[in-house]
Amino acid sequence: MNTLRMVSLQSGSNGNSYFVESGNIRLLIDAGITASRTVERLTSLGIDIASIQGILISHAHSDHISGAGVLHRRYKIPVWLTPGAYQQAGDSRNLAKKLGKLQEPHLFHAGESLQFDGVTIETISTPHDALDSVCFVFDDGVVRLGIITDLGCRFLGLGEIVETLDAILLESNYDEKMLETSTYPEELKQRIRSNIGHLSNIESAGLIQKHGKKLRWVCLGHLSENNNTPEKTLDTHRKIIGNHLDIFIASRYQCTELPVLYH
């Protein structure tokens, strides 16, 4: 029996990292928590860091890369990222310059598919305020899982991608009313709401409601600490989607295990 398994090690503006396993393949998507915390959380799942074959980076914001360089150097884990993300991570003006030196980074272009022993990983360009940012779809030949975060908007073609998915980790960053009344400076509010910022609960729920017909489950992630709560996220999605779908919320503070996709 084949399986595709995902565990969120942490998800939110305070750091993002996801573990994905299919057959012999074990990968991390983003490494935005410290290396020691990554190891600690994998160990709690019974997973040896030495068995991780790669780290795939979605973009060079620090909440996605802050632990990647240390994991790469300490445990010899290869890193895959786009040329733009590599450039941004190495830019001395970039405050998120935390990757440090990489031995032979594996560069890919947005839109290319990566092959890992029977698993295809599609890379999809995203509208976001980072250079050359992407999101990922895992396809093991039967089951398709999307890890789709840090989108400013529901870009053209996203709905059609969601329609092909069996499961999705989707950004649901902020509650519109909480953001409106928050103490954030107006400029920051505008950045979050913009077409290159993040998806709100309503935007995320609308996407699932319209295009998520094939989904076995949805996990909502990348929640804002100040402008969202798990309760509001779930409530908004239930109101828009209804009760027929399993909805999980990825924790900002601990591992969130999702149902294994069997086939």
Q: In 164-224, which ranges are continuous DSSP H helix?
A: 176-181, 186-193, 201-211
The smaller minimum CB distance to Zn ion, of residues 4 and 56, is found at 56
Cβ-based nearer residue to Zn ion, 57 or 165: 57
Residues that bind Zn ion (rule: CB under 5 A) add up to a total of: 3
DSSP strands (E only) in 73-205: 79-81, 106-107, 113-116, 119-125, 134-139, 144-148, 167-171
For the bound state, the minimum distance from the C-beta of residue 128 to Zn ion, rounded and expressed in Å, comes to 6
- Give 26 or 61: the residue with its C-beta nearer to Zn ion: 61
Give min distance, CB of 59 to Zn ion, in A.
Answer: 6
* Strand 113-116 relative to strand 106-107, pairing: unpaired
Letters for 115-154 (x = contact with Zn ion by CB under 5 A, - = none) are -----------------------------------x----
Q: How far is the CB of 13 from Zn ion (least distance, A)?
A: 6
Taking a C-beta distance cutoff of 8 angstroms, is the pair 222, 173 a contact? yes
Residue 42 to residue 101: CA distance in whole angstroms: 24
Q: Taking CB under 5 A as the criterion, which residues in 52-91 touch Zn ion? A: 61, 63
Nearer Cβ to Zn ion, position 47 or 196? 196
Between 150 and 203, name the residue whose CB sits nearer to Zn ion: 150
Shortest gap between Cβ of 162 and Zn ion (angstroms)?
Answer: 19
Per-position x/- string for 3-42, each x denoting binding to Zn ion as judged by CB under 5 A, each - no binding: ----------------------------------------
Nearest to 53 by CA among 99, 8, 9, 106: 106
* Residue closest to Zn ion when measured from CB atoms: 61
User: In the bound complex, what is the minimum distance in angstroms from residue 47's beta carbon to Zn ion?
Assistant: 23
Number of H helices, E strands in the chain: 9, 15
Instruction: Residue 15: name the closest of 58, 73, 77 by CA.
Output: 58
> Least Å distance between CB 177 and Zn ion?
22
Per DSSP, 202 falls in state H
**Residue from 114, 118, 96, 126 nearest 31 by CA:** 96
**For Zn ion, which is the closer residue by CB, 13 or 236?**
13
Contact (CB, 8 A) for 168 and 145: yes
Binding residues vs Zn ion (CB under 5 A): 61, 63, 150
